[in-house]
Structure 1
Amino acid sequence: MKMNRSATAAEAAKRVYSRMLHGKPGSWSMDINGWDWVPGVGVIAIAEYGRRCGQHDIWEWLDSWAQRNRGKSERLKVINAIAPYAVLPELYAFTGNPVYAEAAERAAQWLTNEAPRTREGAWEHTVTEDVQFPEQVWADTIFMADLVLARAAKLSGNRAYAEESVHQLLLHLRLLQDEATSLLFHGWNCEERHHMSGARWTRANAWIAAGVPLIGEALDGLVNLPEEVVTRYQSLMGALAKLQRDDGLWPTVLDRPAYYPETSGSAGIAFGIKRGIRGGWLDAGLEWHADRTLQAMLGLVTENGSVQGVSGGTPVMPSIEAYQSIPQHESLYGQGLALMLLSEYV
């Protein structure tokens, strides 16, 4: 049965990956040849897929992608658009091309010394669109930016980068985690000192569920993660497991079970479970929750590799009810989070 599941996951992953490479040029959600968080999640996921299945051609494709697109990075110094830098340390290991190491170093220096911060010292969530979110901390930042800094720290051995990565992770957990439920709010306004809409949005929780074990892997041997990070993460994942629907997915807002099931957030949470168990963060007893999500995911990947049921790009909405009205459409971050989960079963 496990062999059949692995073969089925491998076939689905292959379709999802192929769809990502042949998306829609010029499309905000499906153009892989960009330098922003959407293609960033896509290439981070493709690197995970390449590592798990060991295919040389996947790394060659990533190398060609980076050669085509890295020149776009220098004019996009915002937190969300830093995300694609997370693959550059890995590409340096694959190619030995010093250009990748130099670019990762520049990103790490920007994050450490120049990126805007809130009054509490957390990175302010900045985006490429013509809109500002002053003094706002978002859960998304851990996956989009902190993973970059952690991997740059691993590449360079720079302890200061590693310590800043841990500092940001702990700050975000303290500011966003609901002490009553252990779930994460989507955002925090440092000036007004509240969680804005107060939504415990599923994909926000998924960014940290998926990001923390990846960051932990990168920092292993450089710094010791504080026990507070470990206990907060374990509490989060235990709370998420209790809210999983019978179909293996999570609703788009965690504590609103009647809201529509959301594929990308569900995949990110399940990936976090698998990776957290593998890294020794989580108890193996949680694995069946990821297995249930995988089963649901297999039914949401079409024959052409499109992942269904993914909510659109989402700022912190003005109300919890507004999250239910966000339309669903195909996207590279949805493809990517699904691919990351599928890759764990390849």
Structure 2
Amino acid sequence: MKGIDELKELAERVYHRMIDKTVNDWGMNMESWDWVPGVGVISILAYGRLLGNQEAIEYLQQWTERNKHLSEQVKVINSMAPYAIFPDLYRLSGERWYLDTGVTIGDWMLTEAPRTREGAFEHTVTENAKFSEQVWADTLFMAVLFLARLAKLTGDSKYAKEAEYQLLVHLRLLQDPLTGVLFHGWNCAEENHMSSARWTRANAWVILACPWIAEEIGSLIPVAGEVVERYRQLAAGLRHYQGKDGMWSTVMDQSGFYAETSGSAGIAAGWLAGIRMGWLDDTYKEAVDQTLQGVMERIEPDGTVQGVSGGTPVMPNIPAYEEIPCYPTLYGQGLALILLSLAHAEIG
């Protein structure tokens, strides 16, 4: 692992790059309500908690005050991500609005959110696009993480049971039995993985979401052994595709494709989360350190995380993933920030 002071200083730069400038571009705009700033605020919460940065927590309270009116404009699975900070903000502030809003949204997810024929949350988005009967790996981080945190806050097992079910159904539909890693998506109507891309960032969302979700719901229901077993298969499969530089190609079994920073950071963060849960042994730490070095080399002096692929739906074919351009984004900043924060906590 890197030095604790180096990790703290770099995490602070990455964090400030997210919040210090108000920008209107899609990738770095914090002042909206969707999955991109959602990953941003989830990562800032992790940073604030793991490094004890009270300023970061206060920022989240201010951010919510500025943007909560936007949450009323649309309810889709991909825009659930910002709600994942509400349980912590309620505990810290005691403001009833966080709890009441969280319960309203959680109940909407249980009773009204569109589902596929298998009962998985259909991946609905704020953009003018339909993905009928499609299951995406992204959903576990963008929506189910919130549901798990709401379960722990309220003590209501109905949210915990739904979170566990979504974990299982997503893993069962997306995991490749031959390699252990995940495909980007599944079409329930056609019963196929569409382009069958083993997209790196999809795997990052899941390898990180699994232990985080299990940690939240574990005090309410016993987490199925199948979740842990599938997580370990995923972790081992990802290790197989890790490059010598510690990174993964944007489609991990396409070694000629560009190395992608956000997915790589998320995978290493997911390994660290698994180690903290006792799901993985310490042999993963060397692989984490390799990724950490690779990610740190892609962070500019001003905290900008480079090498992050843009927003990526399930593409029509595997070569199309290589055509996605790279530019700074809040989710790239965020996954790097989570990795730095977890690494700091590991040695702190």
The answer on whether the counterparts of 1:124 and 1:133 sit within 8 Å (CA) in structure 2 is: yes
| 1:17 maps onto 2:15 in alignment | yes
Distance 1:265 1:41 in 2: 13
- State the Cα distance separating 1:258 from its structure 2 match: 1.3
Partners of 2:332 and 2:320 in 1: how far apart?
Answer: 20
Q: Distance in 1 between matches of 2:248 and 2:109?
A: 32
Quote the residue 2:167 is aligned against.
169
In structure 1, what is the Cα distance between the partners aligned to 2:254 and 2:317? 13
* Cross-structure match for 1:313: 311
Correspondence for 1:64: 62
Cα deviation 1:1-23 (Å, max 9, x = unaligned): x5x62211111111100000024
> Following the alignment from structure 2 to structure 1, what is the Cα–Cα distance between the partners of residues 252 and 297?
22
Amino acid at match of 1:236: L
Instruction: Give the 5 Å matches for 1:282-293.
Output: 282-293=280-291
Alignment of 1:164-203 (within 5 A): 164-203=162-201
Contact 2:200–2:251, Cα closer than 8 Å, also in 1: yes
Find the partner of 2:91 among 87, 90, 93. Answer: 93
CA drift at 1:93: 1.1
Provide the C-alpha distance between the structure 1 equivalents of 2:246 and 2:211, rounded to a whole number of angstroms.
21
Structure 1 residue 345: Cα displacement: 2.3
Task: Say if 1:201 and 1:253, in contact at 8 Å, map to a contact too.
Answer: yes
CA contact (8 A) 2:272 2:343 kept: no
> Could you list the per-position Cα deviations for residues 186-220 of structure 1 after superposition, in whole angstroms to 9, with x for gaps in the alignment?
00000010000000000000000111111011112
Q: For residues 1-346 of structure 1, what are the structure 2 equivalents within 5 Å?
A: 5-346=3-344
Helix, strand or coil for the counterpart of 1:345?
Answer: helix
Q: Which amino acid aligns with 2:79?
A: A
SS in 2 for 1:309: coil
SS in 2 for 1:147: helix
Gap regions ≥5 residues in structure 2: none
- Match of 1:37, as an amino acid? W
Shift of 1:336: 0.3
C-alpha distance in structure 2 between counterparts of 1:198 and 1:86, whole Å: 29
Amino acid in structure 2 at the alignment position of 1:145 = A
Letter in 2 for 1:9: L
Q: Which runs of 5+ in 1 are unaligned?
A: none
How far did residue 284 of structure 1 move? 1.5
What's the CA shift string for 1:135-168, capped at 9, x where partnerless?
0000000000000100111111110110011001
CA distance in 2, matches of 1:137, 1:238: 23
TM-score scaled to structure 1, two decimals?
Answer: 0.98
For 1:72, what is the secondary structure of its paired residue? helix
What do you get for the CA RMSD once the two structures are aligned?
0.9
Does the Cα contact within 8 Å between 2:151 and 2:160 map onto a contact in 1?
yes
1:24 Cα offset (Å)? 4.2
Same amino acid, percent of matched pairs? 53
Change beyond 3 A, Cα 1:24–1:211: same
TM-score (norm 2): 0.97
Moved over 4 A (4+): none
Separation in structure 1 between the aligned mates of residue 28 and residue 335 of structure 2, nearest angstrom = 14
Residues in 2 aligned to 1:309 and 1:156: alpha-carbon distance in whole angstroms: 39
Partner Cα separation in structure 2 for residue 155 and residue 228 of structure 1: 25
Q: Secondary structure at the match of 2:275?
A: helix
Partner of 1:137: helix, strand, or coil? strand
For residues 130 and 23 of structure 1, the distance between their equivalents in structure 2, rounded to whole angstroms, comes to: 28
Q: Quick check: 203-212 or 290-299, which moved more?
A: 290-299
